[in-house]
Chains A and B, each alone.
Chain A
Amino acid sequence: MSTARSRGRGTRHRVLRVLAAGEAGVILALVILCVTFQLIQPAFGSAADVRAILSALSYLGIISVGQIILLIGGEFDLSVGSTAGLSAIVAADLMAHHDIPVAVAVLGGLLVGALIGLVNGVVVVRLRIPAFIATLGMLFVAQGATQVITDGQPIYPLPQVVSDIGQATPLFGLGWSFAFFVVVAILGDLFLRVTVPGRTMYAVGGNPVVARLSGVRVERYKIGAFVLSGTLAAAGGLFLMGNLGSGTTSIGQGWELLVIAGVVVGGVSLFGGVGSVVGGAVGMLLLQVVQSGLVVVGISPNWQTIAVGSIMVLAVGLDVWRRRLPDTEPTEQPTATAAASAPAPEAADRAATGET
């Protein structure tokens, strides 16, 4: 009909596509946010501010890497917060009440995380209980176990070396937790991008039936991703314990939803097979920036969760919208393709009615 109009639409689509496309979109959104906050309140973006944002990000960020890989494999884990809490408590209990060397106690904490992940994986994959239910159950179980061990009391004091490490600031005023987050995020991103098992994970999350027919042991991949998620959740909890210098029962509370919200903002699909660690991590950062930024520009902290919720829905909405846009990429031989597929309607009808 009108070429001008269709060209205009094409441009609009392209702009939307870039805006909404996984990583580019979320990075752009992050930049816009930072600039906006900076304009409103020049104090935003000070070294102290950035440090505060990144420190706060590191614990959840570590956990998000496991969650991202798990989501790409087509499952998800609601128990990461409780797992972080229980692992920290177990490690704290071992070192404070049982005279276990700190290194061994920390390994014990990590092992708890890995075991919780394994149980989640086995329950979901072998017993075929949906991840939502299985890991929601685990959320309560781990939370309960934390209460049983501590009877609600923080475990204190921990050996001095714990706080020494947990409160050290080896990198520009940032702690080991941030360094660990950066390393894990880079490794996670490379795993998904350049390794065979990483690529396979996308297939598993994209369509497990197809993956299986392609020779993939789908169950192993899923269970492995659950174990990774549990272990990294434990690591996040242990770092926070170190920073606090005590085994507090509130470690990890509410983290699961913040992690899922963040990675979803970063373009990781809840339906599996789509996303990247970089995107998810930037999404996490974006939420953190929003929360800190609102405080810096003088908006009541009570508004923070409202912002987080709205942004998450908006991000997913943009993603859904982007998927609905027709493919604007030009085909090499559109006419030939159209002509060749012309005799197919009867076949298409058949496919639609299920007749073969």
Chain B
Amino acid sequence: MTDRPALRVTDVVKSFGSTTVLKGVSLELEPGSIHGLLGQNGAGKSTLVKIMTGVHGAGSFTGVVQVDGSTVQLTRPQDARQLGIGYVPQEIDVVEHLTVTENVLVGDLGSGLRFDRRAADRRCRTLLDQLGMTIAPRTRVSVLSAAQRQLLMIARALALTPKVLILDEPTTSLTDTEAVALGHILRRLAATGLGILYITHRVREVLDLCDGATVLRDGRVVEQLSRSDLTADRIVTAMAGRQVRDLFPGRRYPGGRTALSVRNLGVRPARGSSARVEDVSFDVHQGEILGIAGLLGAGRSELLAGVFGAVPRTGTVTVGGREVRPGHPRHARSAGIGMLTEERKRTGLLFNMSALRNITIGSLGSVSHRGFLDFAGERRVGRRVIGDLEVKTPGIHSSVEHLSGGNQQKLLIGRTLLPEPSVILLDEPTKGVDVGTRAQIYRLVNTLAERGAALVVVSSELDELLGMCDRFLVLAAGRLVDEFTKGDGSEQRILASIARVTPADEAITT
């Protein structure tokens, strides 16, 4: 039976426009095994999964997908589900006010008008038992923890009795102890003959859990490792690969006075999230670019939001020797801190306003006299920003909705820089931004540092972070786990210092 893999893809090539995202990827998943799929952001993991789950339908790519030894055409997600490919997305997608049963059996609550609640509860009970869950099927999902919700998502996938289970970063919202527990459950499921594809970028989990692993980089398989070959070293090296240094302007940080000083910063996790910051202290100097590395959920964005006063914080933030009041971003802004947030659509753009007004909204004081707007002055400022940052927009009065991601980002950078902050916080400044704009953003960051600004940059892309920054902080589970200056470390060091935070350590601290 082992010569009939549960799922096999061969020579998959997938392009979007002129960009080839997958360049001949092949992968095999044996029944009864857990196989890790690793790669940095943009390596092609998501695209590959979308092909396996029918989101990118047959015909939109070349290559072969086989389930249980026979070639299949997946044109829609339903096809994949019917053929036994279960998928658990990264985001936990539950309806809080419904019961466990209703959430698990969603879309499959039986046919006909009558909903047999008892039969459904019994079915749900069996699924929960498979996962070792003891909660009652009638429990409202709103009272469940993040870990229980994650298991519920898995139960939902198991409801279709799949042969293959694809898990996309299942531990993102779990604590490390919960992640270990999830690992045990997955092992038990695999023992029943299920093939599990486990997508992650946490090396530690792959070492603990997987029977083999495939590492993607730039749309190619760079390593296929069997259990005996699995070492942190090989995985990390394969993930990191050679560096794309060319994009980054060469620079040397000359050293400067302390611009921003953060002591014992603490930020509590927001509702429905586990990301927090605990007791983090650091300084940033004039002309310095500090990079914050860490996994998703390590507390990087929370760190920036805490410094900016966008979320409640403990500890002190000092700019130029003066303490900044917490509670509202306006205190940080008047102290000379500027921030670019990660989510353009949710916390950046004002879709009810023109490009021009989006730029000036944070600096209306400088384009007005005694409370009255100076329209000509505002247009001048807007044109200057749009010109300086090369924002491609049909006009200063056009909507921001139809601008490309890169242009939207430049617009928001323009807004952030307009008050001429001395401390600049950038959260994922190149997220969803094309390559040309990326290089432009790198140059801009460099120029700002040369002019004496202190910058703090968060990026999930280690290549980028290492290329751009002078010094690095590594966060794991909200704590500072490593700090080094450019030249003293590499991707390997960052990934290793994150991997070193073992579940045991974590269990003690939480």
Contact = CB atoms under 8 A, between A and B. Distances in A.
A355 B41 contact: yes
Nearest to A344: B434
Interface residues of B, number: 68
Contacts of B436: 340
A345 B16 contact: yes
B293 to A, nearest CB: 13
B349 A196 contact: no
B350 A331 contact: no
B503 interface: no
Contacts of A214: 329, 361-362, 415
Nearest to B19: A343
Interface string B27-57: 0000000000000011011110010000000
B92 to A, nearest CB: 10
A194 interface: yes
**Which range contains the number of A residues in contact with the other chain?**
35 or more
Given A196-B368, A217-B330, A336-B392, A345 B19 contact: yes
Given A196-B364, A200-B364, A341-B434, A346 B398 contact: no
Given A206-B350, A327-B402, A341-B434, A346 B21 contact: yes
B394 A329 contact: yes
A346 B42 contact: yes
B42 A210 contact: no
B373 A342 contact: no
B44 A213 contact: no
A274 B365 CA distance: 22
B405 A347 contact: yes
A9 interface: no
Interface in B371-417: 371-373, 375, 392-395, 398-399, 401-402, 404-407, 415
B199 to A, nearest CB: 9
A327 B394 CA distance: 11
Interface in A299-356: 327, 329-333, 336-337, 339-351, 353-356
B89 interface: yes
Nearest to B346: A209
Given A199-B364, A336-B392, A346-B42, A351 B18 contact: no
A211 B351 CA distance: 12
A215 B19 CA distance: 40
A214 B418 CA distance: 11
Nearest to A336: B392
Contacts of A194: 372-373, 375
Given A196-B372, A209-B346, A210-B347, A202 B352 contact: yes
B239 to A, nearest CB: 15
Interface in A160-184: none
B432 interface: yes
Contacts, number: 165
Nearest to A348: B432
Contacts of A215: 328-330, 333-334, 362
A197 interface: yes
A337 B90 CA distance: 31
Given A337-B392, A347-B405, A353-B46, A212 B373 contact: no
Contact of B17 (A269, A331, A345): A345
A194 B373 CA distance: 5
Interface string B332-353: 0110000101100011111111
B21 A195 contact: no
Contacts of B46: 346, 349-350, 353, 355
A205 interface: yes
B431 interface: yes
A353 B392 contact: no
Q: Dominant SS at the A interface?
A: helix
B460 interface: yes
A36 B356 CA distance: 40
Nearest to A272: B352
Given A203-B350, A273-B352, A356-B460, A341 B333 contact: no
A347 B394 contact: no
Nearest to A72: B352
Q: Which of B42, B364, B460 has the most CB of A within 10 A?
A: B364
Contacts of A203: 350, 353, 361
A335 B437 CA distance: 15
B432 A350 contact: yes
Given A196-B368, A206-B350, A215-B362, A340 B42 contact: no
Interface in A39-96: none
Contact of B350 (A273, A344, A347, A351): A273
B347 A209 contact: yes
Q: Which of B168, B339, B341, B353 has the most CB of A within 10 A?
A: B353
Interface in A196-230: 196-197, 199-200, 202-203, 205-207, 209-217
A274 B399 CA distance: 13
B347 A340 contact: no
Interface in B47-71: 47, 50
A128 to B, nearest CB: 13
B435 interface: yes
B350 A207 contact: yes
Given A199-B373, A217-B328, A350 B42 contact: yes
Q: Which of B19, B47, B350 has the most CB of A within 10 A?
A: B350
Contacts of B17: 342, 345
A274 B347 contact: no
A347 B333 CA distance: 30
B357 interface: yes
Contact of A330 (B329, B339, B392, B394): B394
Top 5 nearest A-B pairs by Cβ distance? A345-B16, A273-B352, A206-B352, A215-B330, A214-B362
Interface of A: 194-197, 199-200, 202-203, 205-207, 209-217, 269, 272-274, 327, 329-333, 336-337, 339-351, 353-356
30 contacts: A195-B373, A197-B371, A199-B364, A199-B373, A202-B352, A203-B350, A206-B352, A207-B350, A209-B346, A211-B361, A215-B329, A215-B333, A215-B362, A217-B330, A330-B394, A342-B16, A342-B18, A342-B434, A343-B19, A344-B406, A345-B17, A346-B16, A346-B21, A346-B44, A347-B431, A347-B434, A350-B41, A351-B432, A353-B91, A355-B169
